[in-house]
Amino acid sequence: MSMADITQANQTQGTQTSRARKANENLVKRFFRATEIDTRLLGMVGALIIIWLGFQVMTGGLFLTPRNLWNLTVQTSSVAVMATGMVLVIVTRNIDLSVGSVLGFCGMIMGVLQAQVLPQYLGLGHPAIWAITLACGIAVGAAIGALHGSIIAFLNVPSFIVTLGGLLVWRGATWFVTSGQTVAPMDTTFRLMGGGTQGSIGATASWVVGVLACIAIIGAVLNSRRQRKRFGFPLRPVWAEYFLTILGCALVLGAVSVANHYYWPINIARRYADANSIAWPDGGLQIPHGIAVPVLVAIVVGIVMTFIATRLRFGRYVFALGGNPEAAELAGIKTRWVTVKIFMLMGVLCAIAAAISTARLNAATNAQGELDELYTIAAAVIGGTSLAGGVGTIAGAMIGALVMQSLQSGMVLLGIDTPFQRIVVGVVLVTAVWLDTVYRARAK
Amino acid sequence: MTEQRTPLVEMKNISISFGGIHAVDNASVDLYPGEVVALLGHNGAGKSTLIKILSGAYRRDAGEILINGEPAEIGNPRDAKKYGIETIYQTLAVADNVDAAANLYLGRELRTPWGTLDDVAMEAKAREVMGRLNPNFQRFKEPVKALSGGQRQSVAIARAILFDARILIMDEPTAALGPQETAQVGELIKQLKREGIGIFLISHDIHDVFDLADRVSVMKNGQVVGHARTEDVTKDEVLGMIIMGKVPPKAIPGPGAMQMA
């Protein structure tokens, strides 16, 4: 049966089941209903594409190059990781203003651990240093989050105030760890988390990751179809399933291909060739970067957080709590514990983001993560998280982070000054939220 | 009282005050299996507060709650649910932003062997229960926010009966409903009664509940005016209890009864 036949068959079937309702729907509406694509997410992706194409034209073709896209994703990963947690915080009608400072503090703790403390006992460059460091950083982040969450949930201090205090306290604490001195350099293994030539997984591994992702997409589609069949629920039309699967796989493989078309800088490649006694070819040695480790970390965090938010009881409680705190309490949900857990999770994500940004900078500094709280909140809000609570998606927030970074990166390419960049970002934030408000008002 | 059985619920001498105001003052009510007791009174008479103590939303200052004759410790909504007490609140208490199935199972989600939410199983069960209550209901995928008042009410009721409640508390169950939906709720109450469930109906409008109830308990200013079997009193007499605190001859007066000169 050809695709057209399938479509035809489904249309006939559809008309029979609910003729009256479908008669009024045009082709576009039917497409969205059949594929169950979130139109808001689609709108955001559309905005992103417009921004990308706009910069592409304005920079004369500098923006949509493998190199720039690769760097863009690496620069996004730290804020994207934190934005996934910020979604849960904002969904429950809270806010976290302290994430930038907590990032700074966790980064400084991890910097001192790997550069000054652990080498004394394990020796410089010991392979376990990065793991111990990261584990300690995550523990510190979780502890700070638990403290914030407990004050908010059990002492009933508004989250705005608690985390505003946290913003000052942890920035100050960061300074105290080394009396303001910058700690460098970082452990070599730890630095892989920051990306760069070494911190990328190369062409072959990238394709493996891409193929695995495609298998996962196909598996997810089949599984959801099987589940719906088990209980006799209405199924998506077959053409819609094919469309979604092919689209998903094409995006994944396209992204891998882009990452694999960004090659090592020529002098690093030459040094590598010399060290491994590879003959230098005429056209230059082209070693692909592949997917950067921080991007991989961010994607894994995004998948795990989406799983937590949509597949686990905890995630269900987070959204119920945001939708109607009283109903959640009356339904017997331990709402205070849910709040504490959300802030702990946020702390853990700050630590992961701190690892990425200290590794990328190859140093832990006082000012690390300054203003990140605002970029994180902006990413979540641009990504469709409602400050009124109850609404938000992890994927949206990560795209929001990408939108913010795209704007900044594009303006850097255009040579726009920092003060003006901030003005643009501020205006975009307000405009995005206004557009979202209009959308919501229409949707009702 | 001709009843010799153990009451399903006995609330004895319950008091609670908020900032010096006695919202409920020395109130006692009881409920037998398969019985519908209407708790009547004006807005602010303390009936909702009294019942929120039973459902675990408030903690009593004084008094005793017996379930099946045994003292029950109810400190929060989870405790109440353990005793089989389910409540449908006046405000409906549904989470607007999640769908019907998620609301039905809120706090008691079904999970797969891996510990993840079993949404498909929950939706299947939701379709079954909602099909019994409201056969026209089809909007399982939409957030509850998008539903009409009657549909939201069906969701709230479905949630209460889904978990084999023995004691059902309905706070103004028909306040938000049209005539047809009100009749549906009436049918449902009769059906639940036949299954041996005890039901507290709370209302400030006697016409809503008089025909459904076996007994009425009337509250005024936080105190119980009196109890009566609906077959022994007229609507006007009950209205007299609600408005004036005047207890008719066949009713049993409580602490809040008007003192006869």
Instruction: Among B148, B163, B178, identify where a domain stops.
Output: B163
CA of A101 vs chain B CAs: smallest distance (Å): 32
C-alpha distances out from residue A50 to A170, A392, A408, Å: 38, 23, 15
Q: Minimal Cα distance from A312: which residue of B?
A: B116
Q: Are B8 and B50 members of one domain? A: yes
pLDDT at A16: 41
A-chain residues near B111 (CB < 8 A): 313
How far is B27 from B10, CA to CA, in rounded Å? 11
Q: What is the mean pLDDT of residues A156-166?
A: 97
CA of A326 vs chain B CAs: smallest distance (Å): 7
Q: What is the mean pLDDT of residues A424-431?
A: 88
Q: Are B142 and B250 members of one domain? A: no
A275, part of any domain:
no
Instruction: Among B163, B181, B215, identify where a domain stops.
Output: B163
Residue A136 lies in domain: 26-200+292-443
Neighbours of B69 (CB within 10 A): 10
Q: Are B129 and B256 members of one domain? A: no
More confident residue, A84 or A271: A84
The full length of chain B comes to 261
Q: What is the mean pLDDT of residues B136-159?
A: 81
Share of chain A above pLDDT 70, in %: 94
pLDDT at A10: 43
A-chain residues near B152 (CB < 8 A): none
The full length of chain A comes to 444
> Residue A13 — pLDDT band, cuts 50, 70, 90?
very low
More confident residue, A444 or B19: B19
Q: Minimal Cα distance from A310: which residue of B?
A: B117
Q: What is the mean pLDDT of residues B122-140?
A: 82
Of B91, B97, B107, the CB nearest to A331: B107
B107, part of any domain:
yes
B94, part of any domain:
no
pLDDT at B66: 92
B46, part of any domain:
yes
A320–B95 C-beta distance less than 8 A: yes
Residue B35 lies in domain: 1-84+165-261
Is residue B141 within 8 A of residue B101, CB to CB? The reply is: no
What CATH number is attached to the domain comprising A88?
1.10.3470
Q: Minimal Cα distance from B103: which residue of A?
A: A320
Share of chain B above pLDDT 70, in %: 96
> Residue A3 — pLDDT band, cuts 50, 70, 90?
very low
What is the tens place of the pLDDT at every residue in A274-327?
888 888 887 778 899 999 999 999 999 999 999 999 999 999 999 999 998 988
Nearest Cα residue to B214 out of B47, B68, B54, B31: B31
How far the first Cα of chain A sits from its last, in Å, is 40
pLDDT at A423: 92
pLDDT at A369: 93
Phi then psi for B167, rounded to 5 degrees? -130, 125
CA of B117 vs chain A CAs: smallest distance (Å): 5
B214, part of any domain:
yes
SS3 at position A99? helix
Is residue A253 within 8 A of residue A210, CB to CB? The reply is: yes
pLDDT at B4: 66
Is residue A407 within 8 A of residue A425, CB to CB? The reply is: yes
SS3 at position A296? helix
B106–A328 C-beta distance less than 8 A: yes
A227–B96 C-beta distance less than 8 A: no
What is the tens place of the pLDDT at every residue in A373-389?
999 999 999 998 988 88
What is the tens place of the pLDDT at every residue in A226-251?
888 887 777 888 888 899 999 999 99
Q: Are B74 and B171 members of one domain? A: yes
pLDDT at A9: 41
Is residue A105 within 8 A of residue A351, CB to CB? The reply is: no
B90, part of any domain:
no
Of B94, B111, B123, the CB nearest to A327: B94
CA of A315 vs chain B CAs: smallest distance (Å): 10
pLDDT at A89: 97
A329–B97 C-beta distance less than 8 A: no
| Structural domains counted in chain A | 1
Q: Report chain A residues touching chain B, CB-CB < 8 A.
A: 227-228, 230-231, 233, 307, 310-313, 316, 319-320, 322-324, 326-333, 390-391
Q: Does residue A273 have a pLDDT over 50?
A: yes
More confident residue, B149 or A200: A200
Please name the amino acid found at residue A126: H
pLDDT at A205: 95
Q: Are B148 and B184 members of one domain? A: no
More confident residue, B81 or A89: A89
What is the 3 state secondary structure string of chain B?
CCCCCCCCEEEEEEEEEECCEEEEEEEEEEECCCCEEEEECCCCCCHHHHHHHHCCCCCCCEEEEEECCEECCCCCHHHHHHCCEEEECCCCCCCCCCEHHHHHCCCCCCECCCCCECHHHHHHHHHHHHHHHCCCCCCCCCEHHHCCHHHHHHHHHHHHHHCCCCEEEEECCCCCCCHHHHHHHHHHHHHHHHCCCEEEEEECCHHHHCCCCCEEEEEECCEEEEEEECCCCCHHHHHHHHHHCCCCCCCEECCCCCCCC
CA of B106 vs chain A CAs: smallest distance (Å): 6
pLDDT at A438: 83
Q: Are B200 and B257 members of one domain? A: yes
Of A320, A323, A332, the CB nearest to B77: A332
B207, part of any domain:
yes
What DSSP assignment string belongs to A121-158?
HH-TT-TTHHHHHHHHHHHHHHHHHHHHHHHHHHS---
A375, part of any domain:
yes
Nearest Cα residue to A134 out of A293, A309, A292, A289: A293
Q: Does residue A18 have a pLDDT over 60?
A: no
Beta strand B36-40 with B85-88: parallel, antiparallel or unpaired?
Answer: unpaired
How far is B179 from B155, CA to CA, in rounded Å? 18
C-alpha distances out from residue A135 to A100, A131, A140, A145, A359, Å: 19, 6, 9, 15, 15
Share of chain B above pLDDT 90, in %: 18
Q: What is the mean pLDDT of residues B117-141?
A: 83
A16, part of any domain:
no
Instruction: Among B163, B189, B218, identify where a domain stops.
Output: B163
Q: Does residue B173 have a pLDDT over 50?
A: yes
What is the tens place of the pLDDT at every residue in A119-129?
999 988 889 99
Average pLDDT value for chain A? 89
Is B102's Cβ below 8 Å from some Cβ in A? yes
Q: What is the mean pLDDT of residues B52-69?
A: 90
A-chain residues near B77 (CB < 8 A): 329-332
What CATH number is attached to the domain comprising B47?
3.40.50.300
Most confident stretch, A146-150, B132-136, B251-255: A146-150
Neighbours of A178 (CB within 10 A): 17
Q: What is the mean pLDDT of residues B243-251?
A: 85
B91, part of any domain:
no
What is the tens place of the pLDDT at every residue in A56-105?
999 999 999 999 999 999 999 999 999 999 999 999 999 999 999 999 99
Is residue B227 within 8 A of residue B217, CB to CB? The reply is: yes
Is B195's Cβ below 8 Å from some Cβ in A? no
Q: Minimal Cα distance from A228: which residue of B?
A: B120
Q: Sheet containing B62-67: which strands, arranged edge to edge?
A: B21-31, B9-18, B62-67, B70-71
Nearest Cα residue to B201 out of B165, B234, B242, B168: B168
Of A233, A311, A328, the CB nearest to B117: A311
| Structural domains counted in chain B | 2
> Residue A444 — pLDDT band, cuts 50, 70, 90?
low
A316, part of any domain:
yes
Maximum pairwise Cα distance, chain A: 76
Beta strand B70-71 with B62-67: parallel, antiparallel or unpaired?
Answer: antiparallel
What A316-319 contacts at long range (C-beta under 8 Å, 24+ apart), as own/partner pairs, is: A316/B98, A316/B102, A316/B106, A316/B109, A316/B117, A318/A88, A318/A91, A318/A92, A318/A342, A319/A91, A319/A390, A319/B95, A319/B97, A319/B98
pLDDT at B91: 67
- pTM (2 decimals)? 0.85
What is the tens place of the pLDDT at every residue in A326-354?
889 888 899 999 999 999 999 999 999 99
pLDDT at A24: 56
C-alpha of B205 from chain center: 15
A323–B91 C-beta distance less than 8 A: no
pLDDT at B138: 81
pLDDT at A334: 92
Would you call A273 exposed, middle or buried from its count of C-beta atoms within 10 A (0-12, 13-18, 19+)?
A: middle
Nearest Cα residue to A253 out of A208, A287, A297: A208
Is residue B31 within 8 A of residue B213, CB to CB? The reply is: no
Q: Are B9 and B137 members of one domain? A: no
B102–A320 C-beta distance less than 8 A: yes
Is B78's Cβ below 8 Å from some Cβ in A? yes
- What radius of gyration, in Å, describes the C-alpha atoms of chain A? 24
